[in-house]
Amino acid sequence: MAAEPTAQESRSRDLDKLLLRPGNLVGPNFEPGPALRDDLKEYGRVLVVGAGGLGCELLKDLALSGFRKLEVIDMDRIEVSNLNRQFLFRLEDVGKPKAEVAAKRVMERVSGVNIVPHFCRIEDKELEFYSKFSIIALGLDSIEARSYINSVACSFLEYDSDDSALEETSKPMVDGGTEGFQGHARVIVPGVTPCFECTIWLFPPQVKFPLCTLAETPRTAAHCIEYAHLIKWDEVHSGKAFDPDDPEHMKWVYNEATKRAELFGIPGVTYSLTQGVVKNIIPAIASTNAIISAACVLETLKIASGCSKTLSNYLTYNGAEGLHTEVTEFVKDKDCLVCGPGVLIQLDTSITLEKFIDLLKEHPKLLLSKASITHRGKSLYMQAPPVLEEMTRSNLSIPLFDLIGKIPKDVVHAIGTTTKNDKKTSCLRKLRVVFKGVDGIADMDTAGET
C-alpha cells in the first residue's frame, strides 16, 4: 500500500507537474527537475506592491506557488470597509498597517515562507531597494502609483550603443487590476513588451464635475461630497492641505457632505461613498480579485521558472454577464520616454548640478520640478528627507560632469513631480547626459533637446 503523501508533498503536487516535467510550450532556458523548484524558493524574490483586495490574494497565491522570499509594501491602514473582501484582515486589525498584518497572516498559514512588510509610500524607497527583486507584482488601484513603479522598473533597463535593449537588465512586472466584475492581468518586460506608459491611453480620464454644478446645483451624492472636499474645505481650512488618508479629515468631509445633501434633499451620502469619491476608490469584488490574482501569479511563475511561454501581453476578464476572457497583444511605443533609451540632454562641462536641476523644469519633454538626482545608485542631490537634503546640498555648486566622474556620456535618474491632467504626480525619468567637447563629442542633432 502506497504511503500517504506528506502535507508538503500534497501542497507541491500540482506545482511539480509544471516544474519537474518537460513540455512543448516551455521557455528556451527551461530545465525541469527538483533543482528548479529549489532555486525558486532560494532565489525567487518577488515584491508585491499593494496589500489591499488584490494584494492579499497575490501574497497568498505566491506563497502557495513555491515562492519563499516575498516582500510587500503598502502605505494604508486597515478600515472596516476593507473586511468584506480583504480576507487576511479581521475586525481587531482595524487601524493597523495592511502590509504588516497581511504578511503576518500568510506566514501563519503557509509554513516556510518569509514575508517582509514595508509600511510606507512607494516613493519613500530608493532605487536600490527595488533593484534586489527579480519580479515586481502590482496589486494597485491607482494610475499614479502604477506609473511610478513602472518608471522605477524601467530605470534599470540598459541599452547598448545601437539603442537596443539589453534584456538581461530588464526587471519584469506583472500588473493586475480589478473593477467590479471586470479585471486585467498583464506582463510588462521593459524593452520587450509595452510598459505601462506606452498604453496609458487604455485608462479613461477620471470624471470631473464642473465647480458651478457643485456650488449651485448639486444633483447627486457625489456632487455634495466633492463640494465639501474641493470648496468647503478650503473655505474653512484656509492654507491647510487636505489629507485623504487622515480619518479626521475624511470624517469632516463626510459630515459637511451630509449637511449639503440634507439642504438639497439628496439621499445616498455615506462614509464609504465619501471615501470612494474623494480617494477615487474602485469598487472591488472578492471573486474577481481571486481570478485576476491567479492569472498574475501564474505569469510570475512562468517568468521565474520558464515552465511556459508568458502571456502576450494583456488579458482582460469580464464576469458581469457570463464569463469572457480575451488576450490582446499591444505594441511597444518606440518613442516612450519611460521604457526607451532615455531623454537625451546635451550639457557643457561647466553646468552645475543646481543649474541642471533647473533645466529639467524647462525641458519640454520633462517639465520636472523638485528633482532629486542619482547616478549609478549614488545620491547626488535629494530633495527629502531634510537630513539627506542637507548631506547632499554641497553638490549643487559642483559641475555635474565632475560629480559623475568626468564621464563623457552616461545615464542619470531624476525623481521629481510633473503635472498630468491638472494633477501633480511623482515620476522617475531616465536621462542620457552627453557633455559637449569631451573626447571628440561634438554638438549632436537633437532637435527639441536641451
Crossing angle for the helix pair 286-305 and 53-64, to the nearest 10 degrees: 40
Residue 336 lies inside a defined structural domain of this protein: no
CATH number (domain holding residue 231): 1.10.10.520
Label residue 282 by pLDDT band (50, 70, 90): low
Q: What is the pLDDT of residue 441?
A: 53
Which of 56, 120, 198, 212 is flagged as catalytic?
Answer: 212
C-alpha angle 73/134/418, rounded to 5°? 55
Residue 398: per-residue pLDDT: 93
Residues 138 and 180 in one domain: yes
The pTM is what? 0.74
Domain of residue 127, CATH code: 3.40.50.720
Whether residue 170 is contained in a domain is answered as yes
DSSP 305-317: H-SSPPP-SEEEE
Classify residue 376: in a domain, yes or no: yes
Same domain, 52 and 149: yes
pLDDT tens digit sequence for 295-308: 999 999 999 998 88
Residues 141 and 230 occupy one common structural domain: no
- In a shared domain, residues 390 and 300: no
Query: Is residue 212 flagged as an active site residue?
Result: yes
Q: Is residue 397 part of a domain?
A: yes
Rounded Cα distance, 36 and 145, in Å: 33
The reply to whether 317 and 359 lie within a common domain is no
CA geometry: angle at 358 spanning 352 and 364, to 5°? 125
- How open is the CA angle 201-203-205, to the nearest 5 degrees? 95
**Do 84 and 163 belong to one domain?**
yes
Q: 297, 328, 359 — which closes off a domain?
A: 328
292/182 Cα distance (integer angstroms) = 9
Coil, helix or strand for 40?
helix
Considering the domain architecture, whether residues 171 and 257 belong to the same structural domain is answered as: no
Which pLDDT tens digit goes with each residue over 144-173? 889 899 989 988 888 877 778 888 889 999
Give tens-digit pLDDT for 88-133.
999 999 999 999 999 999 999 998 999 999 999 998 888 889 999 9
- CATH at 357: 3.10.290.20
Given a cut of 90, is residue 317 above it in pLDDT?
Answer: yes
- Residue 187 in domain: yes
**Mean pLDDT lowest for which of 29-33, 53-57, 227-231, 350-354?**
29-33
- Cα 186 to Cα 302: distance, rounded to the nearest angstrom: 13
Asked if the model's pLDDT at residue 333 lies above 90, the reply is no
Q: Is residue 259 part of a domain?
A: yes
Domain final residue, candidates 328, 360, 391: 328
Average pLDDT over residues 39-62: 93
Q: At what angle do helices 286-305 and 34-43 cross, to 10 degrees?
A: 110
Q: Output the pLDDT for position 446.
A: 41
Q: Look at strands 69-74 and 45-49 and give their pairing.
A: parallel
Please state, rounded to an integer, the average pLDDT across all residues of the chain: 87
Kindly report whether the peptide bond that precedes residue 385 is cis, defined as omega within 30 degrees of 0: yes
Range of the domain at 260: 211-278
User: Does 81 share its domain with 185?
Assistant: yes
Q: Mutual orientation of helices 53-64 and 98-109 as an angle, nearest 10°?
A: 30
Strands of the 173-179 sheet, one edge to the other: 114-119, 69-74, 45-49, 135-139, 173-179, 182-188, 314-318, 324-328
Whether 179 and 318 map to the same domain: the answer is: yes
Q: Does pLDDT of 59 surpass 70?
A: yes
* Domain-located, residue 144: yes
Residues 13 and 109 in one domain: yes
pLDDT given for residue 167 in this prediction: 83
Residue 245, all three cell numbers: 488618508
Q: Report d(CA 186, CA 177) in Å as an integer.
A: 9
Percent of the residues in the chain that have a pLDDT greater than 70, as a whole number: 92
Minimum mean pLDDT among 196-205, 269-278, 313-322, 325-334: which range? 196-205
Question: Within this chain, do residues 410 and 368 fall inside the same structural domain, yes or no?
Answer: yes
pLDDT tens by residue, 418-447: 877 667 778 888 888 889 877 655 554 443
Of residues 284 and 249, more confidence is placed in 249
Residues 234, 357 within the same domain:
no
On whether residue 338 sits in a domain, the answer given is no
The answer to whether 393 and 381 are in contact (CB under 8 A) is: yes
Helix (H) or strand (E) run with residue 371 in it:
strand 369-375
C-alpha cell at 296: 498574475
State the total domains in the chain.
3
